[in-house]
Amino acid sequence: MSTFNLPDVGEGLTEAEIVSWKVKPGDTVAVNQVFVEIETAKSLVELPSPYAGVVKELHGAEGETLAVGAALFTVEEAGSRPAPLANVPQVADIAESDTPVASEEPGPLVGSGPKADAVKRRARTNRPAPTRPARAAGATGAPVIPAALADTISRRAAEIGQASTRLTAAAKPAVAAFVDRVLAKPPVRKVAKELGVDLTEVTGTGGQGEITRDDVLSYKSQREAERDAAPMFWSSQGVELDERIVRTPVRGVRKATAKAMVESAFTAPHVSIFVDVDASRTMEYVARLKKSRDFEGIRVSPLLVLAKAVIWAAARNPSVNASWVETENGAEIQVKHFMNLGIAAATPRGLIVPNVKEAQNLSMRELAIALNDLAETARAGKTSPADMAGGTLTVTNIGVLGIDTGTPIINPGEVAIVAFGTIRQKPWVVDGAVVPRWITTLGGSFDHRVVDGDLSARFMADVAAIMQEPALLLD
């Protein structure tokens, strides 16, 4: 028996909640097969099994919170040989007849057998030929198998069957990974993305099992019908007051977010400034990137230009890419000569801030791919603790919800955050004439212990300059 204890999957995490078990007692589990999904204070994590064998016990129920180091599940490891059967004749005794005998050890389950010149034959002896058993009356010509040989063959067949079962169990993760691949053409994937449909939940009716456009539309219609048929949000007045209140324990990502925001708001003195920006050139630049062959299949948005602008402006104003750190010898300001650009992401489990590592070294195309991967992983709830650790400066895109601006709270451990408002056409004065232009509002919050008013203004002005003229990135 081997017991696997809950590990520390992040940076000093002390507990985790069991979200869902992927196995149950009696199941066969292979090495590296995901057996449980847990939620830490930072993210949702899938744990692979370090053992292969049969699951004997699960130490915790779904929704239960376990401390790091507590027992998680117990496995009876595979590999032990069954005890020899009593009263079974030895192979050497049975081999005295001319009937072929299976070898004592099973051969490989895959691949070829031994080469012809490697076969060893039993030395012949000068003794009378053995008496062959008489054929049974009314037999069809097939020889009667001795009872001892039949017993041995049955035993060997059972052992080979068990080995085959173990092989099948070991192959399940690879088969599951293949099955999880959704078959759908790019136009269908685009429709699903626009409608907000998860293709893994749609059943394909195409000739090869692929998902068609009609499958997506049908699934969307069914979901809408289910939603329309759902009960109203407001409860009847006839229901007891206590039953009209839904209580949800604060834990996991929500608990960690709340704690971090309170600490940030009441330890770092925030100061916020705002600037309106004519982002018409940015909109034109994004349109050109979308048509470029180099960006084919890559989602491009104005957020990409803003991310590059923040990196560029931080290089010109290094103190915004820093931390205020309390040490035994007093406080110190740590200016980072690298950019781990955080992107605040709203997920069903709460707000998280994964970051793009070494963002200053990425080209525009590489940064676009990194942002897309980061967003998809966050929406799926699969962001790892490592992806959220070590951020140096954060961008939050509130414009995607149609909001003009806001006063964001600084991510703990950083001294600056930029809020990106929606881009909409507004009347704008250009060379004395009022014309429609694409306008956005940028908001920045700064830790006033590190970033003075002059520095925050220069940083925001530099970010705005890139949004107004992306060609400055070539300088």
Beta-ladder partners of 74? 3, 57
DSSP assignment letter at 292: S
Distance of CA 197 to the CA centre of its chain: 18
Q: Do 23 and 72 touch, CB atoms closer than 8 A?
A: no
In angstroms, rounded to a whole number, what is the distance separating the alpha carbons of residues 232 and 28?
A: 44
Sequence-distant (≥ 6) Cβ neighbours of residue 208 within 8 angstroms: 183
Q: What stretches of 361-423 adopt beta strand conformation (E)?
A: 393-397, 416-420
Nearest alpha-carbon partner for 213 in 190, 182, 236 = 190
Residue of 59, 270, 337, 448 with catalytic role: 448
User: Parallel, antiparallel, or unpaired: how do β-strands 28-29 and 34-39 relate?
Assistant: unpaired
Query: How far, in Å, CA of 296 to CA of 292, rounded?
Result: 7
C-alpha–C-alpha distance, residues 61 and 51, integer Å:
21
Residue labelled with tokens 């300088």: 475
Residue 59 falls in the annotated catalytic set: no
SS3 letters across 430-453: ECCEEEEEEEEEEEEEEECCCCCH
Which residues, in sequence order, are CB contacts of 406 under 8 Å at separation 6+?
398, 419, 421, 443
Backbone φ, ψ for residue 292 (5° rounding): -75, 140
Between CA 472 and CA 475 the distance in angstroms is 5
Please identify which residue in the block is written with the tokens 């001319």: 98
Residue carrying structure tokens 């650790």: 389
> How is the beta sheet containing 71-77 ordered, strand by strand?
2-5, 71-77, 53-58, 28-29
Tokens for 207, please give them. 């000739």
**C-beta of residue 42 within 8 angstroms of C-beta of residue 347:** no
Distance (Å, whole) CA 5 – CA 252? 19
Catalytic residues: 448
